Chain A
Amino acid sequence: MTFWVLFVKPQVFSAKINELTLGTGDKATVLGGQNVFNLYTFDAPIANRPKIGIDVSDDPEQPSEGLKEFYAGCSTLAERAKKAAELPEADFVCIRFDLADPNGANKSVEDCVADAKAVAEAVDKPIVVAGCKNTEKDADLFSKISEALQGKNILVLSAKEENYKGVAAGAGMAYGQKVGAESAVDINLAKQLNVLITQMGVDGKNVAMNIGSAAAGYGFEYVVSTLERVKAAALSQNDNTLQMPIVTPVGVETWGVKESTAPESENPGWGSAEERGIDMEVETAAACLAYGSDAVILKHPASIQTTARLVAALM
């Protein structure tokens, strides 16, 4: 019906999200590239579906029984990363150096670099490197790992307001790796950080954003609005300081809240903690993808399989 055509208007923008390639060879994966809102395949075809990373910490402690079982028999970070990478639904592996925290185990940068090298040998999927949240240590860590993994086209998570100079200069400019820019659910800060990093000399096309994350129910409205506003500015205002693809670590947030971890004995009605943890991760990830994340990073294999199934069904 011609009348009908008047009313369903595809919302296709002249701007698009940058395409960012991680890794090399057959297993390389591409984030972003779309000229429509996330998952809106009915507006225009989306060449690169949203991607899913698997989060592997250097800390052998696991937040659930299922994860313990999944990594049973693995004793090193490289072994766990290899196991994680074998999951067919995982597009990339995110190794996280929790133990490097100077206020915790304070693992040395050299040991972390050695771990990262071992991972790079064990794994052929793209590698994302997350730090310990101590900005000073992370800057050093990212720089050294970027050097050691030169040519692997890794992404470091992340450069923040406090350490962007070191991270951009080290990982980004000296060793040509991809740089993640992390801000805390504030669109103005997200833009500012991208401006600062590109002013340093890093090509904006080599930057990904982590605009902040939260578990569903925990101030997640800020994540929602920041994701939506970033994507709207990138596409409808053609703001090229916000056209970087968005990578959202979900698992680190969701496996820390009581809904996921409280033992069944504490709230008998709640049922298995494993199931709760998976659904918390899955539902948070689905919401991130709906509002604008181009990639999510999850911990549990069942969450990853479910999210992959959801994404496939939507493409």
Chain B
Amino acid sequence: MALKGLDIFKLTPKTNCKDCGNPTCMAFAMKVASGAIPIEKCPHMSAEALSTLSEATAPPMKSYKVGDLALGGETVLSRHEKTLVSKTLYAVQVCDCMDEAKQDEVLKNIPAVDYERISERMYVEMVYVSHSAGKAPADFAALVTKAKALGRPLVLSCTDVEAMKAGVEAAAGCDIIVNGATADNYADMSAVATGAKALLGVRADSLEALHEVVEKLEAAGNKNLILEVSTASVKEAYADAVQIRRAALKDGDRTFGYPSIVNVAALSEGDAHLEAALLSLFTCKYGSIVVCSEMTYAKALPLYGLRQNIFTDPQKPMKVAPGIYPINGADENSPCCLTVDFALTYFLVSGEIERSKMPVNLLITDASGMSVLTAWAAGKFSSSSIKKFMDEFDINNKIKSRALIIPGKVAVMKGEIQDKLPDWSVIVGTTEAVQLVKYLRDEEWKKSYVDKSAAAPAAGEAAAAEPAPAPKKVIPAPPIVVTGPYMIDDKPVTYKGHDPNAQTFVTIGERIHCISPAIRKAMDSYDEAPILKRAAEQIAAGATYLDVNIGPAESNGPELMQWAVQLLQQNFNNVPLALDTANQKAIEAGIKVYNRTNGKPIVNSADAGSRISNIDLAAANDAIVIALCSADGIAKDNEERMMHCHNMLERGLHLGMESDDLWFDPLFLVIKGMQDKQMDVLNAIRAFSDEGLKSTGGLSNNSNGMPKHIRPIMDAAMVGMAMTMGLTSAIVNPCDQRLMETIKSCDIIKNHNLYADSYLEI
């Protein structure tokens, strides 16, 4: 929780004594708020003020571990605001008021629900052991001993201090929560919990009374607490759960900044379906531990799925585990459909396969949770990654069928996959999941199936029935011949040159990208014309750099990149380039033939995760690197963005780079979908700028999905705001005239370029 300068000012002595080296207490407070100087610099701050301050900067809700299980630590009420961090945990209640047979039955049923869903183990995490007034401490201890045998953390629920002591003793060696502090016993109960190094559960007859007991416990020094909501009625329990969490997170009441226990077993009056409804309700809002009377698969299947959905980080894609997923009773002879591990892709594809009612083995490969095309462009879904997957999961031996259907969107990979998996018949499937039903039902894939085993020459046979498939033709890169300046409308297009030391905004033209089918095709066949055309258009429109995205280019990356670099630089006066591919060898090869007249090459791109080695690559080759401030998915806030930024900066500097050669990319986010995160991105740019760092990014991503006529307007506004914050470069479509004119105008306002009436034309 950041504290505002004015809040700190209120805590200062307000004497303007200057002992801290600042002219006024106000100036001091402002610097403390920005983190520039520590509060201790003021020698006159009272102990009380200091403790208020540390209280105010403490997280709004405590976080704990019980065994391996996390509790609390939430900072927001809704997942879309940031993310929810500690998933709801479920416990089953067993009571010493039950007869032995019933106790044993309840305990015996607890392990029944135990399964995996999208890489998460789903089971009853805790046992809630209750003591009832009519029973002796020894009865409670006996039950605790039995419950302990399940090997799960126990919540001991008991307001009788003596019985609790017996229970705690019986639970020795097991992770526990001592749940039973009340207005009457809190001092003794707190001592029991502290002695057992356990969280103390607190309950009271009303929220007011609960607040009071917690205040007393805190005053006595116990801040390891968990709050049990009312068990009087559903309505009161819900009101408590919501109001406790809201008071802590929205209204900053730290006395309620603790996790909660909701006992729905006590609220559902033996109605199993009502209990299911309540489990769901309190998973949504805001049970940290929810206790039920019994966990069945009927309750668990929707509940754990719901929990998994709610507690996923909205910034990170949901992934399914790589592996073989047999659908519709598929066996080793059923054909294989291959796709990526992005959860939505998986659900869509598996759903459509199910609808086709045809047995299919769905093969899910690790693609970092990206969708098919994104993963392909990032090099995460490639013939090598597929080959690696096939080896790792031993698919050749587990499955006898040799039909491998790949997504239609990556038809271009077919040759490379076929080369790496010669025993398989690689078949290009449909481009959309919905087309799969018909495709599979009508067995359309069989039309493209080639039986590889028949083609292999069998011993003793003179000739195979079919000729062996011809190896994929590798076209060598043709030599580059420049016949004269490239013309658009009979006007020669020449690159105007670029001074790397100029302050003006650097635009990196994004139009040579292999996600565009025309460019992909041109790169496949070394066809100059479409590439030169796009380059010329961008240069004529005023691009400073051109980005060259050749895709993963696994088989011919180095050769293709060298060809592209030479083609563009020789035709356009050594236009500087950003080399954009997941293939590091291709980037290195490109740099070898790169001409630095108009600026260093840019490596596009490194990140703080799996692509961090691109910083090393840039350092070794004296190149600029675009450094994405993310590791696995989008950074959740600017603290994380800046952490990534500093990690990469440190690495670059350590390798001898200049800080000016690391261009930090905050990752522009889509407004449709992440409207509330836009100011974060802009503030990150300001933070880079404040530290004297350069920045860039795929700016037009902000307007993704908007109507065509809106995009230039939104992009222009975004670039204007971003340049105010200090953005020094962007990856853009230079053919967007409004955007380019806005950039030029902003450069005038920033005094980076001297004004003249014709400034737009130069």
Listed in ascending order, the chain A residues whose CB lies under 8 Å from chain B are 1, 4, 7-9, 11, 39-42, 186, 188, 215-221, 224-225, 228-229, 232, 254, 258-259, 267, 269-272, 275-276, 278-280, 282-287, 289-291, 302-303, 306-307, 309-310, 313-315
In the complex the two chains form, is A282's CB within 8 Å of B277's CB?
Answer: yes
B53 to chain A, nearest CB (A): 20
A1: chain B residues at CB < 8 Å are 208, 211-212
Say how far A251's CB is from chain B's closest CB, in angstroms.
13
CA distance A280 to B297 in the complex (A): 10
Q: Which residue of B lies closest to A41 (CB)?
A: B235
- Does B277 contact A306, Cβ atoms closer than 8 Å? yes
- Are B303 and A283 touching (Cβ within 8 A)? yes
Output the nearest chain B residue to A273 by Cβ-Cβ distance. Answer: B298
**A219-B344, A225-B314, A306-B273 known; A275 vs B298 contact (CB < 8 Å):** yes
**Structural contact, B284 and A291, CB atoms closer than 8 A:** yes
Residues of B contacting A267 with CB < 8 Å?
A: 297
The interface on chain B, measured as residues whose beta carbon lies within 8 A of the other chain's beta carbons, has a size of 58
For B312, the chain A residues whose CB sits under 8 A away are 221
Task: Select one of B78, B234, B284, B675 contacting A314, CB under 8 A.
Answer: B234
Interface contact B211-A307, CB-CB below 8 Å: no
Per the bound structure, the CA–CA distance linking A41 and B239 in Å amounts to: 8
Chain B 266-286 against A: per-residue CB contact (8 Å), 1 yes, 0 no? 000001111011111101110
Report the minimum CB–CB distance from A166 to chain B (whole Å): 22
Known: A42-B243, A309-B271, A310-B234. A216 touches B306 (CB 8 A): yes
Query: A216 is contacted by which of B247, B278, B303, B343 (Cβ under 8 Å)?
Result: B303
Report, nearest first, the 10 A-B pairs whose CB atoms are least far apart.
A217-B305, A313-B234, A283-B280, A216-B306, A42-B239, A290-B284, A221-B309, A286-B280, A306-B273, A283-B302
Chief secondary structure at chain B's binding surface: helix
B284-A287 in contact (CB<8A): yes
- Give 16 pairs: A residue, B residue, CB < 8 Å, sorted on A: A1-B211, A1-B212, A40-B242, A216-B303, A219-B347, A224-B79, A225-B79, A228-B79, A270-B297, A270-B301, A271-B296, A285-B277, A287-B281, A307-B277, A310-B274, A313-B234
Return A164 CB to nearest CB of chain B, in Å: 16
Is B304 part of the contact surface with A, judged by Cβ < 8 Å? yes
Q: Mark B283-323, 1 if CB is under 8 A from A, else 0.
A: 11100000000001111011111101110101000000000
Give complex CA distance A220, B314 in Å: 12
Q: Is the CB of A8 within 8 A of B247?
A: yes
From B212, B238, B251, B302, A9 is in contact (CB under 8 Å) with B251
- Which residues of chain A are near B239, meaning CB under 8 Å? 41-42
B80 touches A315 (CB 8 A): no
Chain B residue with minimal CB distance to A284?
A: B302
**Quick one: closest B residue to A9, CB to CB?**
B251
Smallest Cβ distance from A253 to chain B, in angstroms? 11
Asked if A314 contacts B235 (CB within 8 A), the reply is yes
Contacts A291-B284, A306-B277, A309-B271 given; indicate if A224 touches B309 (C-beta within 8 A). Answer: yes
Whose C-beta in chain A lies nearest to the C-beta of B676?
Answer: A229
Known: A216-B305, A217-B309, A219-B309. 15 other contacts (CB 8 A): A7-B256, A11-B250, A39-B238, A41-B239, A217-B302, A219-B347, A221-B310, A225-B79, A232-B78, A259-B302, A270-B297, A275-B298, A276-B297, A283-B302, A302-B273
B234 neighbours in A (Cβ, 8 Å): 310, 313-314
Establish whether residues B301 and A218, one from each chain, have CB atoms under 8 Å apart when the complex forms.
no
B298 touches A7 (CB 8 A): no
**Complex contacts, B271 vs chain A, CB 8 Å:** 306, 309
Chain A at the B interface: mostly helix, strand, loop or mixed? helix
Cβ of B253 under 8 Å from chain A: yes
In the complex, A298 Cα to B243 Cα: how many Å? Answer: 30
B255 interface residue per 8 A CB criterion: yes
Residue of chain B at shortest CB distance from A226 = B80
Name the A residues within 8 Å of B281 (CB-CB). 286-287, 289-290, 310
Bound: A11/B243 CA distance, A: 10
Residues from chain A with a CB closer than 8 A to the CB of B310 are 220-221, 224
- How far is the CB of B268 from the nearest CB of chain A, in Å? 10
Which residues of chain B are within 8 angstroms of A307 by Cβ–Cβ distance? 277
Which residues of chain A are within 8 angstroms of B279 by Cβ–Cβ distance? 283
Residue from the list A218, A309, A310 in contact with B347, Cβ < 8 A: A218
> Do A220 and B78 touch across chains, with their CB atoms under 8 A apart?
no
Residues of B within 8 A of A228 (CB): 78-80
User: Separation in Å of the B311 CB from the closest CB of chain A?
Assistant: 9
With beta carbons under 8 angstroms apart, the residue of A4, A232, A269, A309 that contacts B274 is A309
- Contact across chains for B306 and A272 when beta carbons are under 8 A apart: no
Residue of A nearest to B212 (CB): A1
B212-239 contacts to A (CB < 8 Å): 212, 233-235, 238-239
Residue in A271, A302, A313 whose CB lies within 8 Å of B235: A313
Cα(A315)–Cα(B239), bound, Å:
11
Tell me the smallest distance from the CB of B371 to a CB of chain A, in Å.
Answer: 14
**Residue from the list B247, B280, B301, B306 in contact with A7, Cβ < 8 A:** B247
- Closest chain-A Cβ to B418's Cβ sits at a distance in Å of 34
Residues from chain B with a CB closer than 8 A to the CB of A303 are 273
Residue of A nearest to B344 (CB): A219
B309 near A279 (CB under 8 angstroms)?
no
Task: Give the residues in chain A near B297, CB-CB below 8 Å.
Answer: 267, 269-271, 276
B748 within 8 A of A: no
> Is the pair A290, B243 in contact by a Cβ cutoff of 8 Å?
no
- Distance in angstroms between the alpha carbons of A315 and B236 in the assembled complex: 10
Chain A residues in 8 Å Cβ range of B277? 282-283, 285-286, 306-307, 309-310
Residues of B within 8 A of A286 (CB): 277-278, 280-281, 284
In contact, B309 and A8 (Cβ under 8 angstroms): no
In the complex, chain B residues whose CB is within 8 Å of the CB of A280: 301-302
By a CB distance below 8 angstroms, the chain A residues around B251 are 7-9
Question: Does any Cβ of A come within 8 Å of B207's Cβ?
Answer: yes
Which of A229, A276, A290 contacts B301, CB < 8 Å? A276
Q: Are B306 and A188 in contact, with the CB atoms below 8 A?
A: no
Q: Please name the residue on chain B nearest to A305 by beta carbon.
A: B273
B355 to chain A, nearest CB (A): 10
In the bound complex, how far is the Cα of B113 from the Cα of A267, in angstroms? 12
- List of A residues within 8 angstroms of B298 by Cβ: 270-272, 275-276, 278-279
